């Protein structure tokens, strides 16, 4: 799933389990929540790092 941030399209993965799942994106500046459109389940909650093309699912140090 992609949303444009600073002219870039970062890749936001939610996992293979959710393939073909209809989702709703709730976007507030760089804060993004990915919600299952049918059940309302929160699938991902993250702050977009504009310096990265992909958005890792786990924090790396």
Tell me how crowded residue 22 is: count the other CB atoms within 10 A of its CB: 8
Q: Please tell me the distance from the alpha carbon of residue 49 to that of residue 19, in angstroms, as a whole number.
A: 24
| pLDDT of 1 above 70 | no
Domain ranges of the chain: 11-55
- Per-residue pLDDT band at 61 (split at 50, 70, 90): very low
- Per-residue pLDDT band at 59 (split at 50, 70, 90): low
Give pTM, 2 decimals: 0.75
**Tens of pLDDT along 10-57?**
788 888 899 999 999 999 988 999 999 999 999 999 998 888 878 877
Here the tokens at position 35 are: 């919600």
């Amino acid at each position: 799933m992609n949303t444009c941030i600073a002219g870039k399209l970062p890749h936001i993965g939610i996992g293979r389990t959710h393939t073909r799942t209809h989702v709703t994106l709730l976007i507030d500046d760089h804060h993004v929540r990915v919600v299952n459109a049918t059940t309302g389940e929160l699938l991902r909650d993250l702050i977009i790092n504009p310096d990265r093309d992909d958005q890792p699912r786990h924090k790396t140090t």
